[in-house]
Chains A and B, each alone.
Chain A
């Protein structure tokens, strides 16, 4: 039945393009697509909270950074393999998010958004002072760790394919959540939380589960990403810039839609790449991102996909 949905094949096609596009020596394209895959993963999972449940998570990067730390620690200090380290990192961060979620999801609106920044800053302060994780200097991984994957060159390709896989799973997760009872409950919370509760939606549990679910895949992606760099430090792991970018991406593509975050991520990555290489606009990307966010919020709160769906309502039935 799922095989009959156009969306299933659209995701499959996206994964195939990502997997097939960079061949052989085309490392530059691979790096660009890798970043796009990370952006799509972050934005898609952020969308579970932001787009579905209507909760603005400004500190979603804490999942990515904490996942990175767990994974790097498991590999570097405990000597685990990449896959178990990344998976356990995902589970650990997801569990931590469930605990935090019960607490801060009692807050709404602006207060919640501020609390999510607080969680990120709090975790960063903790890690900066946590000596087993290297404190403020962070953790360096030995190049030896790439050997089991066939050396650094091949390891980078393996990490790339794994990240593309995580991106694909993120998109399928968005899709299945949206088409489930859980998703319907989340969407109703996003529309009117009090009315949802009166109709029987178990709002505290659903919000905490969504928060926790939205942590799992970004944490794994963080693990892979920081293993790739063989280095992690608090300033990189918990950089609010990436959180903000994930919000811009989700809003640009269309919050609450399944395709939107992916479209937004791709466009944003293209824009960013162009701005980074342009002489006039070097290091200008965040200013542009800020202006972009202002424009979207003001003139197109539904983002690109929202605009397309209003223009062509049949498209929504096809893709959502």
Chain B
């Protein structure tokens, strides 16, 4: 499997806190890699380091063979790396369609406005928002905003999608729906790097899992193997959801 994203020896310090240290992993073409770890393990920071929201103190990030370490987020997005935010960031005053059109316009294919609208409709349809295209984003429910966040990223037609807790805050029906969407996305050959707390979901979706603890890689491998790793179980001690495969 060719490496789409290579993270090598990445480090970031905030004041006295070593948020991420000596972290290396790769995401292959079409692969789903799960990034898990206790709260404060540095998962979202890793996303911010990869797509240029933060500049790493050390290490290297390469996407499709080219070095993107410390590049501005909009440059990284243009290369085909899209992401969602843990706390949804819709353009509240714009419609669903306009939100998605921004993603499509400035994404990998640098589409014209008219073509971007088509891509935006398609992405909105993929997440089940096709009936809310003209609705202002602020009128959507939390589940709707999460789907919009995903649709906006998808509209860019990325090669790699980084998802930061897209399932958090959803009810079981919505989760089942979202998992269906994620499988459909993967079916289109898009690689996914996802942070998720819902163990059952991430264990069943991911090809491989990277476990982070205090900014360092604790374990890496196929879901079943990672779940049996004594170090992982210890990190999650007092968090029986991990062992039983349920939500913590």
Contact = CB atoms under 8 A, between A and B. Distances in A.
Interface string B62-105: 00000000001111011000110100011111100010011101
Interface residues of A, number: 20
A274 B63 CA distance: 64
B204 interface: no
B92 A199 contact: no
A188 B156 contact: no
B73 A188 contact: no
A201 B94 CA distance: 16
Contact of B102 (A179, A180, A185, A204): A185
Contact of A188 (B72, B91, B112): B91
Interface in A144-203: 179-181, 184-185, 187-188, 191-192, 194-203
Contacts of B107: 199-200
Given A181-B105, A181-B112, A194-B89, A199 B77 contact: yes
A203 B51 CA distance: 15
A281 B229 CA distance: 81
Contact of B152 (A180, A187, A199): A199
Contact of B94 (A179, A180, A187): A187
Contacts of B75: 202
A198 B98 contact: no
B89 A201 contact: no
Contacts of A185: 102, 105-106
A69 B229 CA distance: 74
B151 to A, nearest CB: 12
Main secondary structure of the interface of A (DSSP, over half): helix
B74 A197 contact: yes
Contact of A198 (B83, B90, B92, B93): B83
A97 B152 CA distance: 33
Interface string A113-140: 0000000000000000000000000000
Contacts, number: 77
B53 interface: yes
Interface residues of B, number: 30
B231 interface: no
Nearest to A185: B106
A86 B153 CA distance: 45
Given A188-B94, A192-B91, A201 B113 contact: no
B93 A200 contact: no
Contacts of B112: 181
Given A181-B112, A181-B113, A184-B101, A199 B94 contact: no
B72 A201 contact: no
A185 B77 CA distance: 14
Given A191-B93, A192-B91, A198-B53, A184 B85 contact: no
Nearest to B92: A191
A66 B72 CA distance: 34
Given A196-B74, A198-B53, A200-B103, 19 more contacts: A181-B105, A184-B113, A185-B105, A187-B91, A188-B94, A191-B93, A194-B53, A194-B73, A194-B89, A195-B85, A196-B91, A197-B72, A198-B51, A198-B89, A199-B82, A200-B74, A200-B78, A200-B105, A201-B106
Interface of B: 51, 53, 72-75, 77-78, 82-83, 85, 89-94, 98, 101-103, 105-107, 112-113, 116, 152-153, 156
Interface of A: 179-181, 184-185, 187-188, 191-192, 194-204
Q: Which 10 A-B pairs have the closest CB atoms?
A: A200-B106, A200-B77, A191-B91, A195-B89, A197-B73, A188-B102, A197-B74, A198-B73, A181-B113, A202-B74
